[in-house]
Amino acid sequence: MLKLIVQRLIFSVITLTIVAIVVFAMTDLLPGDWATAYFGKWATEEGLAALRDEYGLDRPATERFAEWFSGALRGDFGMSLSRKKPVVELIRYRLRNSLLLGGLASLVTIPLATLLGITAGLRRDRKADAIISTASIVGMSTPEFVIGTLLIWALSVGLGLFPSMTLGNPDAPIADLLPNVVMPTATLTIASTAYLLRMVRTTTINVLTSEYVEMATLKGIPRSRVIFRHALPNILLPTINIMALMLSGLLGGTFVVEVVFNYPGLGRGLVDAVSFRDVPMIQAIALLWAVMYVFFNLGADLLTTFLDPRLRSLRG
């Protein structure tokens, strides 16, 4: 098990290095740079040259990568080009806000989707299943901005319960953010629950129609024990990896929801950074996401390996 963890950690580091190279190359090799974006149509040769010289934009790419990457390893992502502040400082609060939003959404989504998915699977083709499945299809096929807008219309405009958008700065205290986080959380929860519960429902049905569940029933085991002891572990194991993927997506911030509610998270930050061609900011957020994806997946793999006896003996 320890050997496996070390092995997987080494692979994760290799993966992240490759991601860093790709991120750097993509932001660097695209036509236009921050200098041209800064001046826009008023750009002059001299102005561009001066700016490039100031920020070292005309040095060879490899040199700049080495500098950036070694900085990133130490947690220094350079200065934001548009805000003239260290990137880390700008990102820190945005990360906190995204984690708050994503954390709350996951906290509701995972138990809710599991419960609804299993219920629908157990009551397959009956009334409860029909209601849950229809609702999940509606939830899945409605874009997040529509859900968000509907919530604003109903809860903010109609009932005046929650503010429709966040006006505070990214570094506002959590207590101030709490009323603002409710509606984005609800939007994210609706969208991801709809998706996750369908996965859980399918797995539940597969497990319930499996021969080992039939066999357990024919052994005279009471239904509740069949479900909890024989079926449940086999339903949950395959969903752990899906949950991990979803979790990293939720915690890393989501563009659409953050933009709709003007929520100061990472997604919103990336959208702003892209429109300002604020390259260090883009690179930092992209790399941060990659780190989250890699480590959530690693966590899920290790967890399933630990919980599933088949994987345990396969991977040793």
Contact in structure between 200 and 121 (CB atoms under 8 Å): yes
φ/ψ of residue 161, rounded to 5: -80, -45
Q: Which residues of this chain interact with another protein, rule CB under 8 A?
A: 209-223, 225, 229-230, 233-234, 237, 308-310, 313
Contact in structure between 250 and 106 (CB atoms under 8 Å): yes
Give 75's contacts (C-beta < 8 A, 6+ positions apart): 88
Nearer to another protein, 159 or 218 (CB): 218
Nearer to another protein, 216 or 260 (CB): 216
Nearer to another protein, 202 or 262 (CB): 202
Q: How far is the CB of 122 from another protein (least distance, A)?
A: 13
- Residue 124 CA to residue 108 CA, distance in Å, equals 24
Q: How far is the CB of 133 from another protein (least distance, A)?
A: 18
Q: How far is the CB of 214 from another protein (least distance, A)?
A: 8
Q: How far is the CB of 234 from another protein (least distance, A)?
A: 6
**Residue 136 vs residues 119, 144, 200, 257: alpha-carbon distances, Å:** 13, 13, 12, 19
Alpha helices in 230-265 (DSSP H): 232-251, 255-260
**Residue 252 vs residues 38, 65, 216, 290, 308: alpha-carbon distances, Å:** 28, 24, 42, 9, 28
Nearer to another protein, 173 or 220 (CB): 220
- Residue 221 CA to residue 209 CA, distance in Å, equals 16
Nearer to another protein, 12 or 210 (CB): 210
Q: How far is the CB of 205 from another protein (least distance, A)?
A: 11
- Residue 262 CA to residue 173 CA, distance in Å, equals 16
Give DSSP secondary structure letters for 140-157: HHS-HHHHHHHHIIIIII
- Residue 16 CA to residue 147 CA, distance in Å, equals 34
Nearer to another protein, 116 or 205 (CB): 205
**Residue 39 vs residues 51, 86, 88, 235, 282: alpha-carbon distances, Å:** 10, 22, 25, 56, 19
Q: How far is the CB of 5 from another protein (least distance, A)?
A: 18
Nearer to another protein, 59 or 310 (CB): 310
Q: How far is the CB of 309 from another protein (least distance, A)?
A: 4
Q: How far is the CB of 51 from another protein (least distance, A)?
A: 48
Nearer to another protein, 103 or 238 (CB): 238
